[in-house]
Amino acid sequence: MRILIHGGFFSESSQSNETKLLKQKALLDILEKSKVYLKNNNAVSTSIFATSLLEDSPLFNAGIGSQIQQDGKIRMSAAIMDGTSHKFSGVINIENVQNPIFVAQKLMREDDRVLGGEGATKYAFKEGFPLFSTETKERKIEYLTKKENLGTGTVGCVVLDQNGKLAAATSTGGKGFEIPGRVSDSATIAGNYANEHCAVSCTGVGEDIVSGALATKIVTRVTDGYALKDAFKKTFEELKPYDGFAGAIAVCKNGDVFFSESHPKIVYASFDGESNTVFT
């Protein structure tokens, strides 16, 4: 069994050491809860569970604490991919729900599995998700004072379960101050991808991740016989011509885990079957 979770980058220059320590503790707490959950649940369910806990923490830019767009509204995106069935489901620019990842989970049962904007929000309410504002005091102050910061706090999780099944889940609150309607990487196969060989979740600047087809390339290269580390190396080298800002976590069916970033530092924690590791 393997679990990796990430909370994006430390992108805010004003971020204190205290905040960094709080994020580190939050990641370890979520990792511990997810380990217990994985004992009795599969990879897909566990990836959703861990991501929902990350969404519930205002320390990260997903769910509660999501960034505010130019028009003063919060729009979030999230996705899941089941490495066994190859099913991908997601929501893009959904509003007023606490956990976009749970809406993506509901969509797994639908023929139309990726919904955007008003359609995604209406679907959530139809399925019984209550109206919920994810705005925090801190985000509101940033918006009102026009304190622009790179919203690279996307969260995600990759899992290898006890039966050798893989899954990936990713959620984001956007980059902040973006043009309404902008689509991030998180609910695309560039930012979240899994098959029976490998699972990857990305974070960083969505446009750069989409340009590099990051998650899909890593998984495809592992499927074609690359070692996980080599798949990362080649894929991240392809970001260099345009100085792509990205990070990714991954797990393979053989239990190999790996993470990398093009601009330090991604916030991540992992369980390798024996012990926990946290990196900030």
Give Cα separations from 163 to 42, 81, 250 (angstroms). 8, 17, 17
Q: What is the rounded CA–CA span in Å between residue 155 and residue 17?
A: 20
Q: Which distant-in-sequence residues (6+ apart) come within 8 Å of 142 by Cβ?
A: 68, 148, 149, 176
Q: What is the rounded CA–CA span in Å between residue 86 and residue 99?
A: 23
Kindly report whether the peptide bond that precedes residue 265 is cis, defined as omega within 30 degrees of 0. Answer: yes
Q: Do residues 48 and 63 make contact, with C-beta atoms less than 8 angstroms apart?
A: no
Q: Point out the residues that are catalytic.
A: 154
- Which strands sit side by side in the sheet containing 88-94, from one edge to the other? 114-116, 88-94, 76-82, 166-172, 155-160, 2-9, 266-271, 276-279
